[in-house]
Amino acid sequence: MTDIAAVFAESGPLAAAIPGFRARPQQIEMAQKIAEAIGGNRVLVAEAGTGTGKTFAYLAPALLAGGKVIVSTGTKTLQDQLFNRDLPTVRAALKVPVSIALLKGRANYVCPYHLERNARDGRFLSPQDAADLRAIARFAQTTQTGDKAECTDVREDSMAWLAATSTRDNCLGQDCPHKEGCFVMQARRNAMEADVVVVNHHLFFADVMLRDEGMGELLPACNAVIFDEAHQLPETASLFFGESVSTAQVLELARDTRSETVAAARDCVAMIDQTRNLEKAARDLRLVFGNEGARLSAAQAAERENFDAQVAALDKALGEFHAVLDTQAERSEGLANCLRRSEEMIERLARWRSPESTELIRWVEVFSQSLALNATPLHVSDVFKRQLEGHPRAWVFTSATLAVGKADFGHYCRELGLAWMDPPPMTSVWGSPFDYGEQALLYAPAGMPDPNAPDYTERVARVALPLIRAAQGRAFVLCTSLRAMRRIHELIVDGLQQSSDELPVLLQGEGSRTELLDRFRRLGNAVLVASQSFWEGVDVPGDALSLVVIDKLPFASPDDPVLAARVEHMQKQGLSPFIHHQLPRTVINMKQGAGRLIRSERDRGVLCICDPRMIDKSYGKVVWRSLPPMRRTRAEEEAVDFLRTLPPPKRAE
């Protein structure tokens, strides 16, 4: 067996091949533990603090062990980084003849069939969409992979991608006239042949658990599965072990059927009429909730006037649509596929209306343009545990945030069913190598009101402003709700204007996450006010970020229908939902938010947590003790003085 310590030593192959590589004791220990797990087909749950170098710590033993490895990430950003940068670097350094492949969900690959059909139809919402589709068509002629991440001429969130990609529902599979040139099939073939396959959690669950997109064949041959950003798994698993019927899916089915009818059954006017009726039924259901967004239990939704009637009307419209489509389906592969989709949708809607299991949480989510009827499992532990008990292989779960307190993994292991495995999972924590005592200060402002106080948001902005001025911008202000985010942004802009401080203040939603982060880094002295999507997976090392302000402890809303159902279920079991579920989730989320501040050995800054419950409540001590070992203060002057000692920001030219 290869000596892992020698691989990571200062005279080892990684140091020789990678500029700036430094051996870290935590990284070596983690790599040794992962090698042990892979060698013994064990389950390992490992927290590795920021700066440990956990990516190399799992890649090196995985490549050296031989066999087939699946690496699953929480974000496409990390997925691309692993495939394009980290894996080739480690492979070259270790000189191992390992083949690697990148596999994403089908929505990331150009679909020649849908691209051709929608380009021919020529119906677009804007001239920009039409121009984007032409750019995608040019890209499709030259690309080797069809991966939309490589098409830099078209924004990732352009509506044209909907017309140029396929979904699980509208893919024609083996019946597609373009199957020989299908980028999705090519990516799957590459994954089947590769030694190391990089996926993301969404694809892992969609494909492996549902045997949906080909990875059902990939897993049996695999010797190890490594989950990075593993703190996201319970939420992702809940999403994929459940079912959903959305008005967006219904509208997509109606549009696709209309296009296929025009192409293959133009004489069937009744089919066109049925697509219009189906669209009306979907829109009428969405209109029950007016302009508001909401998450409601099925019982709460049923209290809304016309909700049950409109769900029944959608069910009836789907049935009538299906009856006509059944008479036309044999006229083309596209129409046959639409028939299959309508049958599945009718079945899912029937199960939502009359659930067979009491273990499902039925709830409704209302978005600005659509509505989803969801059925989510009460717990995913049994389903996930069954996956782990199949073919013997190693399973590694790692993240910077998995434990509560110093090393308690009980909450995480219970959620995923790992707690009841035999033998039990191996667990380890490696702290960050950063010198938090020197590099960072944790400031908990004194005299803050209760977070439910009517003026709490104003008080948060009042605390943030002197810190922002002292840091000369360079700040994230992370909020737990969109309403608070918008109000705090408004107050910070007003406060800076009154004091004539000319600092750019960015707001989540003014652009894509990537665009906002690029602007933040480029400006060098900006303030970004954001909510949940910026609490994790955001990396701004260096002087551009020296202050993180968090408004409240990120407890999930007690009104959330999924949380409410799980709380009730745990109470019936005699467990404390707060101690066993809500507090551990909050700690993990809090550690993610706090982790935005110190990203390298040279970073320095202040973490300000405004919520007085962290100090005043007994459970606040659990949060406090889970955070990195920064120096701590309650005095504003100390925080301001710390920020004033930092070198001035490097501003954009």
Write the DSSP string, 59-105: HHHHHHH-S-EEEEESSHHHHHHIIIIIHHHHHHHHT----EEE---
* 627 three-state secondary structure: coil
CA distances 508 to 174, 512, 515, 530, Å, are 42, 8, 10, 5
Residue 58 in contact with residue 398, Cβ under 8 Å?
yes
Peptide bond into 25 cis (omega under 30): no
DSSP state of 30: H
* 53 three-state secondary structure: coil
Residues of the chain with CATH 1.10.275: 243-377
Into which CATH architecture does domain 436-644 fall?
3-Layer(aba) Sandwich (3.40)
Mean pLDDT by 10 residues, the chain (653 residues): 84 89 90 95 92 92 92 87 92 94 89 86 76 90 90 83 84 84 89 91 75 53 90 86 91 92 91 96 94 88 94 97 95 92 95 86 92 91 79 91 84 88 90 90 95 95 96 94 94 93 91 83 93 81 89 88 88 87 88 86 93 93 90 95 88 54
Q: Which amino acid is at 179?
A: K
Please list, in sequence order, all residues whose beta carbon lies within 8 angstroms of the beta carbon of residue 580, skipping any fewer than 6 positions away: 411, 414, 570
Residue 329 in contact with residue 286, Cβ under 8 Å?
no
- Report percent pLDDT > 70 for the chain: 96
Can you give 533-598 as a three-state secondary structure string?
HHCCCCCCCCCCCCEEEECCCCCCCCCCHHHHHHHHHHHHCCCCHHHHHHHHHHHHHHHHHHCCCC
* 516 three-state secondary structure: helix
DSSP state of 109: B
Cβ-in-10-Å burial (0-12, 13-18, 19+) of 368 comes to exposed
Could you give the CA distance from residue 572 to residue 566 in angstroms, rounded to a whole number? 10
The pLDDT of residue 219? 65
The pLDDT of residue 652? 53
The pLDDT of residue 18? 87
Q: How many residues does the chain have?
A: 653
Residue 294 in contact with residue 361, Cβ under 8 Å?
no
Residue 547 in contact with residue 606, Cβ under 8 Å?
yes
Longest dimension (CA), the chain: 78
pLDDT digits (tens, 9 = 90+) for 590-607: 888 888 888 888 889 999
CATH 1.10.275 fits 243-377, yes or no: yes
Into which CATH architecture does domain 4-105+185-239+379-430 fall?
3-Layer(aba) Sandwich (3.40)
The pLDDT of residue 593? 84
Residues of the chain with CATH 3.40.50.300: 4-105+185-239+379-430, 436-644
Nearest to 219 by CA among 395, 441, 475: 395
Half-sphere exposure of 553 (CA within 13 A, CB side): 27
Nearest to 397 by CA among 378, 422, 376, 415: 415
CA distances 166 to 64, 110, 496, Å, are 37, 8, 47
Mutual orientation of helices 247-264 and 112-121 as an angle, nearest 10°? 70
Could you give the CA distance from residue 336 to residue 22 in angstroms, rounded to a whole number? 58
The pLDDT of residue 95? 93
